[in-house]
Amino acid sequence: MKIRPNTAIGTALEIKDLIRDGYQSIFIGTGVWRPKTLGVKGESLGNVHYAIDYLANPDAYNLGDTVAIIGMGNSAMDVARTAIRHGARKVTLYARGTVSNASEHETAYAKLDGADFQFGKQIVEITDDGPVFVSVIHDETGKAIGQGEEREQFFADSTIISVSQGPKSKLVNTTEGLKASQNGLLMTDDNGQTTIPGIFASGDVVLGARTVVEAVAYSKTVAEAMDEYMKSKEE
């Protein structure tokens, strides 16, 4: 096995260069590294950050004492726990729904570390003072049926947006025949083969943001399919 670090495929080198140089099959496991935006006023302010950027290098950030997190998935729980461990005194997660979208144990760990939870909050703006919400109205089943008109300012030194991620588009844009769905995820068959024979993909770049366990389980199937593909080429 040889490892070539600090090399982005889709820039100077493209997938066609790998095929030219003799690789019989290629595996794409690039994940989803482009944060999804809220599309609200104030998202470009200096005290607003994205979860995936913060988690990549939390030591580079000075979030202050009070942190607001928009979103309540597994990444949001990671952000909350990391921020607390880096000195934040009050960390609050906000969600439109009535329950956490994170796994049960991730939610429990965040609560144990001291994170607060606010449900039924729809973000409408972010200011220098923190996020602004309106309340979401839910029926007895938990389905959102409307929202209030009164705007509520929650004060925070920093706001972190954690509403999932999408894939970057370099590979699709630079590889003829490699197709992605409308949301940017690579299109594959049941064995992980993309729209180009010999090029396989697995993990979040195919399934969307999921858990490591799901990505690894699917990748085992794809690895077997790649092995069968390469054996067939030798016959």
- pLDDT tens digits along 90-120: 999 999 999 998 889 999 999 999 999 999 9
Question: What pLDDT does residue 234 have?
Answer: 75
For the stretch 190-194, contacts whose Cβ atoms lie closer than 8 Å and that sit 24 or more positions apart, written own/partner, are: 191/221, 191/222, 191/225, 192/218, 192/219, 192/221, 192/222, 192/225, 192/226, 193/225, 193/229, 194/28
Domain ranges of the chain: 15-33+166-234, 37-163
Q: Identity (one letter) of the amino acid at 149?
A: E
15-33+166-234 with 37-163: one CATH topology?
yes
Sign of the CA dihedral with 15 first, then 16, 17, and 21 last: positive
The CATH class given to the 15-33+166-234 domain equals alpha beta
pLDDT, mean over the chain? 90
Q: Which residue has the tokens 């595996």?
A: 27
pLDDT in the model for residue 235: 64
Helix axes 104-113, 74-85, angle to 10 degrees: 20
CATH class of 37-163: alpha beta
> What distances in angstroms separate CA 84 from CA 113, 137, 145, 167, one per listed residue?
7, 30, 34, 28
Identity of residue 111: K
pTM over 0.75: no
Residue with tokens 């399919």: 225
Query: What integer pLDDT is reported at residue 166 of this predicted model?
Result: 63
Task: Using pLDDT thresholds of 50, 70 and 90, give the confidence band for residue 165.
Answer: low
Phi, psi of 93 (to 5 degrees): -105, 140
pLDDT at 150 over 80: yes
